[in-house]
Structure 1
Amino acid sequence: MLVLRYALFAVLSMAANLAVQAGVFHLLPAGGLLPAMAAGTVAGFALKYGLDKVWIFADPVESHVRELRKVVLYGLFSVVTTCIFWGFETIAWFVWRTEAAKYAGAVLGLCIGYGVKYLLDRRFTFRARP
Protein backbone atom coordinates (compact mmCIF):
# COMPACT_ATOMS: atom_id res chain seq x y z
CA MET A 1 0.00 0.00 0.00
CA LEU A 2 2.85 2.39 0.83
CA VAL A 3 4.39 1.93 -2.61
CA LEU A 4 1.06 2.70 -4.30
CA ARG A 5 0.53 5.78 -2.15
CA TYR A 6 4.08 7.01 -2.82
CA ALA A 7 3.58 6.43 -6.54
CA LEU A 8 0.26 8.28 -6.48
CA PHE A 9 1.81 11.23 -4.66
CA ALA A 10 4.72 11.23 -7.10
CA VAL A 11 2.23 11.32 -9.99
CA LEU A 12 0.28 14.16 -8.35
CA SER A 13 3.49 16.06 -7.77
CA MET A 14 4.63 15.44 -11.35
CA ALA A 15 1.25 16.61 -12.64
CA ALA A 16 1.47 19.79 -10.58
CA ASN A 17 5.04 20.30 -11.73
CA LEU A 18 4.24 19.82 -15.41
CA ALA A 19 1.02 21.86 -15.26
CA VAL A 20 2.87 24.81 -13.77
CA GLN A 21 5.67 24.33 -16.28
CA ALA A 22 3.22 24.31 -19.18
CA GLY A 23 1.56 27.50 -17.95
CA VAL A 24 4.84 29.37 -17.54
CA PHE A 25 6.29 28.00 -20.79
CA HIS A 26 3.27 29.20 -22.75
CA LEU A 27 3.45 32.62 -21.11
CA LEU A 28 7.16 32.93 -21.92
CA PRO A 29 7.77 30.71 -24.99
CA ALA A 30 10.96 32.48 -26.08
CA GLY A 31 13.49 31.72 -23.38
CA GLY A 32 10.88 30.35 -21.01
CA LEU A 33 12.44 26.93 -20.47
CA LEU A 34 14.37 27.68 -17.27
CA PRO A 35 11.65 29.79 -15.59
CA ALA A 36 9.11 27.09 -16.45
CA MET A 37 11.32 24.34 -15.01
CA ALA A 38 12.00 26.35 -11.84
CA ALA A 39 8.33 27.23 -11.22
CA GLY A 40 7.25 23.64 -11.81
CA THR A 41 9.90 22.35 -9.46
CA VAL A 42 8.78 24.67 -6.65
CA ALA A 43 5.15 23.59 -7.08
CA GLY A 44 6.07 19.90 -7.10
CA PHE A 45 8.35 20.30 -4.07
CA ALA A 46 5.73 21.95 -1.87
CA LEU A 47 3.05 19.40 -2.69
CA LYS A 48 5.35 16.38 -2.35
CA TYR A 49 6.83 17.49 0.99
CA GLY A 50 3.42 17.86 2.58
CA LEU A 51 2.18 14.52 1.28
CA ASP A 52 5.37 12.64 2.18
CA LYS A 53 5.58 14.05 5.70
CA VAL A 54 2.02 13.11 6.61
CA TRP A 55 1.06 10.12 4.46
CA ILE A 56 4.33 8.31 3.65
CA PHE A 57 6.53 8.74 6.70
CA ALA A 58 3.83 9.60 9.31
CA ASP A 59 6.30 12.12 10.61
CA PRO A 60 5.18 14.01 13.71
CA VAL A 61 5.56 17.75 14.03
CA GLU A 62 8.49 18.34 16.35
CA SER A 63 10.40 21.37 17.52
CA HIS A 64 10.97 24.25 15.13
CA VAL A 65 14.66 23.31 14.91
CA ARG A 66 13.91 19.70 13.95
CA GLU A 67 11.25 20.76 11.45
CA LEU A 68 13.66 23.22 9.87
CA ARG A 69 16.29 20.48 9.67
CA LYS A 70 13.82 18.20 7.89
CA VAL A 71 12.81 20.87 5.39
CA VAL A 72 16.46 21.69 4.72
CA LEU A 73 17.41 18.03 4.24
CA TYR A 74 14.34 17.43 2.09
CA GLY A 75 15.29 20.49 0.07
CA LEU A 76 18.92 19.45 -0.33
CA PHE A 77 17.92 15.99 -1.48
CA SER A 78 15.40 17.62 -3.79
CA VAL A 79 18.21 19.65 -5.36
CA VAL A 80 20.22 16.49 -5.97
CA THR A 81 17.30 14.62 -7.47
CA THR A 82 16.14 17.71 -9.39
CA CYS A 83 19.48 17.64 -11.20
CA ILE A 84 18.51 14.17 -12.42
CA PHE A 85 15.10 15.46 -13.52
CA TRP A 86 16.43 18.62 -15.19
CA GLY A 87 19.22 16.68 -16.86
CA PHE A 88 16.82 14.30 -18.58
CA GLU A 89 14.42 17.11 -19.49
CA THR A 90 17.16 19.38 -20.87
CA ILE A 91 18.82 16.64 -22.89
CA ALA A 92 15.47 15.65 -24.42
CA TRP A 93 14.75 19.30 -25.28
CA PHE A 94 18.13 19.90 -26.92
CA VAL A 95 18.13 16.60 -28.82
CA TRP A 96 14.59 16.71 -30.24
CA ARG A 97 13.46 20.36 -29.73
CA THR A 98 9.82 19.45 -29.20
CA GLU A 99 7.54 19.98 -26.24
CA ALA A 100 6.58 16.30 -26.33
CA ALA A 101 10.22 15.25 -26.00
CA LYS A 102 10.83 17.81 -23.27
CA TYR A 103 7.91 16.50 -21.22
CA ALA A 104 8.83 12.85 -21.86
CA GLY A 105 12.35 13.59 -20.62
CA ALA A 106 10.86 15.38 -17.62
CA VAL A 107 8.63 12.44 -16.69
CA LEU A 108 11.50 9.95 -17.02
CA GLY A 109 13.79 12.18 -14.96
CA LEU A 110 11.10 12.70 -12.32
CA CYS A 111 10.48 8.95 -12.00
CA ILE A 112 14.17 8.22 -11.48
CA GLY A 113 14.57 11.22 -9.18
CA TYR A 114 11.61 10.25 -6.99
CA GLY A 115 12.98 6.74 -6.54
CA VAL A 116 16.31 8.10 -5.36
CA LYS A 117 14.51 10.71 -3.23
CA TYR A 118 12.47 8.13 -1.35
CA LEU A 119 15.59 6.21 -0.39
CA LEU A 120 17.36 9.35 0.82
CA ASP A 121 14.36 10.64 2.76
CA ARG A 122 13.69 7.30 4.40
CA ARG A 123 17.32 7.05 5.50
CA PHE A 124 18.09 10.64 6.50
CA THR A 125 15.14 13.07 6.54
CA PHE A 126 12.29 11.23 8.22
CA ARG A 127 14.18 8.47 9.98
CA ALA A 128 12.69 7.14 13.16
CA ARG A 129 14.33 8.52 16.26
CA PRO A 130 14.73 6.53 19.50
Structure 2
Amino acid sequence: VYQVLTPGNPAEMDAAQEIVFKPGDKPAMKMPAMMMKMIRGQLKKNSVLGNVCEGVSLAGKESVTVPAGTFQALRYHNDKHDSDTWVVPERPFFMVKATGKDFDMSLASSGDGARSSITETPQEMPGMGPSK
Protein backbone atom coordinates (compact mmCIF):
# COMPACT_ATOMS: atom_id res chain seq x y z
CA VAL A 1 0.00 0.00 0.00
CA TYR A 2 1.32 3.45 -0.94
CA GLN A 3 0.13 6.88 0.18
CA VAL A 4 1.30 9.87 -1.83
CA LEU A 5 0.59 13.39 -0.62
CA THR A 6 0.28 15.59 -3.73
CA PRO A 7 -0.64 19.28 -3.99
CA GLY A 8 -3.79 18.71 -6.01
CA ASN A 9 -4.04 16.08 -8.71
CA PRO A 10 -2.28 13.03 -10.13
CA ALA A 11 -0.58 15.09 -12.85
CA GLU A 12 1.42 16.77 -10.07
CA MET A 13 3.14 13.59 -8.86
CA ASP A 14 6.51 15.28 -9.40
CA ALA A 15 5.52 17.70 -6.61
CA ALA A 16 4.74 14.93 -4.09
CA GLN A 17 5.32 16.13 -0.53
CA GLU A 18 5.41 12.77 1.21
CA ILE A 19 5.34 9.07 0.36
CA VAL A 20 4.48 6.41 2.92
CA PHE A 21 4.48 2.73 2.01
CA LYS A 22 3.55 -0.44 3.86
CA PRO A 23 4.87 -3.68 2.36
CA GLY A 24 2.47 -6.42 3.52
CA ASP A 25 2.63 -7.03 7.29
CA LYS A 26 5.85 -5.02 7.74
CA PRO A 27 5.81 -1.60 9.45
CA ALA A 28 4.79 1.45 7.43
CA MET A 29 7.80 3.52 6.32
CA LYS A 30 8.05 7.20 5.42
CA MET A 31 10.54 8.32 2.80
CA PRO A 32 12.94 10.98 4.09
CA ALA A 33 13.38 14.44 2.52
CA MET A 34 16.60 13.52 0.67
CA MET A 35 14.98 10.51 -1.00
CA MET A 36 11.84 12.56 -1.79
CA LYS A 37 14.01 15.12 -3.59
CA MET A 38 15.58 12.37 -5.73
CA ILE A 39 12.19 10.80 -6.46
CA ARG A 40 10.65 14.16 -7.43
CA GLY A 41 13.51 14.68 -9.89
CA GLN A 42 12.95 11.25 -11.45
CA LEU A 43 9.18 11.73 -11.60
CA LYS A 44 9.64 15.09 -13.30
CA LYS A 45 11.88 13.50 -15.97
CA ASN A 46 10.07 10.19 -16.44
CA SER A 47 6.45 10.75 -15.48
CA VAL A 48 3.87 9.24 -17.80
CA LEU A 49 1.72 12.18 -16.79
CA GLY A 50 4.45 14.67 -17.69
CA ASN A 51 3.41 14.79 -21.34
CA VAL A 52 -0.21 13.83 -20.78
CA CYS A 53 -1.46 16.88 -22.71
CA GLU A 54 0.46 16.16 -25.92
CA GLY A 55 -2.01 15.55 -28.75
CA VAL A 56 -5.02 16.31 -26.54
CA SER A 57 -7.94 18.42 -27.70
CA LEU A 58 -11.26 19.34 -26.13
CA ALA A 59 -13.98 17.21 -27.75
CA GLY A 60 -16.85 18.92 -25.94
CA LYS A 61 -18.99 18.92 -22.83
CA GLU A 62 -21.19 15.89 -22.23
CA SER A 63 -22.92 13.80 -19.62
CA VAL A 64 -20.98 10.71 -18.54
CA THR A 65 -22.26 7.95 -16.25
CA VAL A 66 -19.86 5.94 -14.08
CA PRO A 67 -20.45 3.81 -10.95
CA ALA A 68 -20.05 6.96 -8.79
CA GLY A 69 -22.90 8.72 -10.61
CA THR A 70 -23.68 10.89 -13.62
CA PHE A 71 -21.59 14.00 -14.22
CA GLN A 72 -21.49 16.89 -16.68
CA ALA A 73 -17.90 16.56 -17.84
CA LEU A 74 -15.44 17.93 -20.35
CA ARG A 75 -14.31 15.18 -22.72
CA TYR A 76 -10.76 15.39 -24.02
CA HIS A 77 -9.55 13.23 -26.89
CA ASN A 78 -5.90 12.26 -27.36
CA ASP A 79 -5.18 11.57 -31.04
CA LYS A 80 -1.69 10.27 -30.28
CA HIS A 81 -2.94 7.49 -27.98
CA ASP A 82 -6.53 7.24 -29.29
CA SER A 83 -7.90 7.76 -25.79
CA ASP A 84 -10.64 9.82 -24.15
CA THR A 85 -10.74 11.38 -20.70
CA TRP A 86 -13.74 12.94 -18.98
CA VAL A 87 -12.92 15.55 -16.35
CA VAL A 88 -15.03 17.54 -13.91
CA PRO A 89 -12.88 20.47 -12.71
CA GLU A 90 -14.87 20.84 -9.47
CA ARG A 91 -14.21 17.21 -8.40
CA PRO A 92 -11.16 16.15 -6.40
CA PHE A 93 -8.62 14.66 -8.83
CA PHE A 94 -10.76 15.94 -11.74
CA MET A 95 -10.95 12.71 -13.75
CA VAL A 96 -14.15 10.64 -13.62
CA LYS A 97 -13.49 8.36 -16.59
CA ALA A 98 -10.71 7.48 -19.04
CA THR A 99 -10.73 4.97 -21.89
CA GLY A 100 -8.14 3.86 -24.40
CA LYS A 101 -6.95 0.90 -26.41
CA ASP A 102 -5.64 -1.00 -23.37
CA PHE A 103 -7.50 0.56 -20.45
CA ASP A 104 -10.87 1.63 -19.08
CA MET A 105 -11.02 3.48 -15.75
CA SER A 106 -14.07 4.92 -14.01
CA LEU A 107 -14.66 6.64 -10.70
CA ALA A 108 -16.19 3.92 -8.51
CA SER A 109 -17.34 6.12 -5.63
CA SER A 110 -16.64 9.35 -3.82
CA GLY A 111 -17.62 11.05 -0.61
CA ASP A 112 -16.61 11.63 2.95
CA GLY A 113 -15.40 9.18 5.56
CA ALA A 114 -12.60 7.47 3.68
CA ARG A 115 -10.12 5.71 5.94
CA SER A 116 -6.50 5.02 5.20
CA SER A 117 -5.31 1.44 4.81
CA ILE A 118 -2.20 2.53 6.76
CA THR A 119 -3.37 3.05 10.33
CA GLU A 120 -0.07 3.07 12.21
CA THR A 121 2.41 5.94 12.55
CA PRO A 122 5.02 5.39 9.84
CA GLN A 123 8.65 4.84 10.83
CA GLU A 124 11.54 6.70 9.23
CA MET A 125 13.42 4.57 6.73
CA PRO A 126 16.50 3.19 8.52
CA GLY A 127 19.80 4.93 7.83
CA MET A 128 18.21 7.71 5.80
CA GLY A 129 17.75 10.47 8.36
CA PRO A 130 14.56 12.31 9.30
CA SER A 131 11.91 13.57 6.87
CA LYS A 132 11.50 17.30 6.40
Give the TM-score, by structure 1 length: 0.31
Name the structure with the higher strand share.
Answer: 2
Higher Cα Rg, which structure: 2
Name the structure with the higher helix share.
Answer: 1
